[in-house]
Structure 1
Amino acid sequence: MAKWGEGDPRWIVEERADATNVNNWHWTERNVTSWSEERLKALLQEVRVEGSEGVCQVTDVSKLEGEACINNRKGKLFYFFEWVIRANWTGTSKTGVKYRGTVDVANLSDENDADDLDISVALCADHPPTPLVQLMKTKGIPEVRRALDQYMKQLKTGKKLMLYLILKRDISCRKWSLICMTGLCLQISSAPSPGAPCSVGKASTTNIQLKETFSTTPDELYATFISQDVRTVKTMFFIHIEHDHDCMTLSLSLDQDHFATVILLFEDGGGETHLYVDIQGVPSGSEDSTREGWNRFYLQAIKQTFGY
């Protein structure tokens, strides 16, 4: 798999002032590595198994090497990811003795299904043999496999669970374009920007991750984001929403010297919805205000307005 940003130049279209990638007909790339890292860690740390031997729990992920991206070509989405993972687990025997070990995954990629993943379990060298290793092999590995399968499904899911918002300023500084990528297609819209052109320079940026739980279903929360009523919520940015059966388009006013990507993941929590927000490309020094703005004017405002 080619590294992020190293796609075949014959396919990836340059950003030019005299041309537009209309409806994303040409190949475009979207980096979802940061979101993937957060999801893999969260899913693996939920792995816990119990048996006659004792209890084992994955505690953390000590190695997570790889990348993930989503590409679009002629309105179709292609998913590419490749990861090498090492997670740590602790076990407690029935007699109360503590043990530590590792779980290794060498081939988590778009080329393999969950059943094809090579997952191995080991006990730390400074620990004596224990039946807990067998517990991790018989029950722990299937749970790890299930967690990784869930990641792959979430990455490839449709509009009902994952929503990508790409905000970018045109090279001429004459307009703003927001690309909203769902699990089905891509669409471009534009909104007017301040009249005077401005120069573009590389700015130092960072990423922000937020999580909020809503007392509603993923479908209902998703519908809230696309409803007319959401326009009544006092937001941090100007927001305009258009929606049809397969696409959603939002226009936001943001600092004209920067572009940002927002990834929203709607996860079913059984009677509630966990919303994960990954904001990529936040100007350095604006982290606190951006985090506060999203919490106050988006997440909490939607909760208060719609009773979630």
Structure 2
Amino acid sequence: MARWGEGDPRWIVEERTDATNVNNWHWTERDVSGWSSERLRQLLLAVRVDGLAGVCQVTDISKLGGEASINNRRGKLIFFYEWQLTAGWLGTSSCGLKYRGTIEVLNLSDENDLDDLDIVVSLCKDQPSTPLLDLMKTSGIQEVRRILGEYVSQLRSEFSQGMILPTANGPPLPQPETQRNQSQTSRVQIGPAPSCSSSPAPCVQIPTCSFDLSETFLTPPDELYRTFINQEFVQVFTRSVAAVDGRRGGRFQMLDGSVSGEFTQLVPDRRIEMQWRFRTWPSGHHATIRLELMDHGDETELRMECRGVPAGEEDATREGWTRFYFQAIKQTFGY
């Protein structure tokens, strides 16, 4: 294997306390079944719905079987989870009568969308008919679906950190908010604005400038393309919470509220076009970004065109893209 600073960076042996498998490049798996089981119980036992018929509350989890894990393969995070569960619920009618029933979820897994979950609500066999059953079949199912979505979101956000490790010169590990605010002094700190403008067109005409960049990444175009439009990948290389809707017309926000924009055209594995803005720019003003991915076998040449940058912001924007996008992606994923 090559020593640090030599050869293909994906195979570098770096001097570090966690030693082998630098950046967790080859294969890393983390079993999160125990955490998942406990978190699902906590979330489900908090389910409560109210209606004109009365109140229904989940009281116990009688069955919770399955597993969950996170895998990293060549810089790609793969989330696997599969659960089947049965919970008991207690309904109290408006006149004080008690009714018991069950909730079954048969297919909570990474292969199914939350909207496709089979959630079955029923009364126990010895219970008479009650309007509370209708309450659980409407509001109850909706609340169960919501908290299961919360579990999936927490699984993806809390356990992705550390699966892909930084290199010696990589971006620093996340700092507490107060420290991060004190240490961020660069002119360009790329991150999301509080909200994305519904229209990318500038509100006022201002002097602008343009520039081009070119960078080569040691990865095929499909992997590099996914890195720019996949929310989980963006959160990993920026080391901060991001919101990325990777489709045409989808909006994005990233890096602690400094950058926002909208994808205007996506050609899978070939081109990404977006309206992009830094939050200190004049309100409503966006630059037009075009990323062309040129396939060179095991390498991808990325050609970037940036048009409409406010005059005086060219150097800062160029530096920001080079540092917070290109270098961060290379150092995080080994590209």
Normalized against structure 2, the TM-score is what? 0.45
More strand by share: 1
Higher gyration radius (CA)? 2
- TM-score w.r.t. the length of structure 1 is 0.48
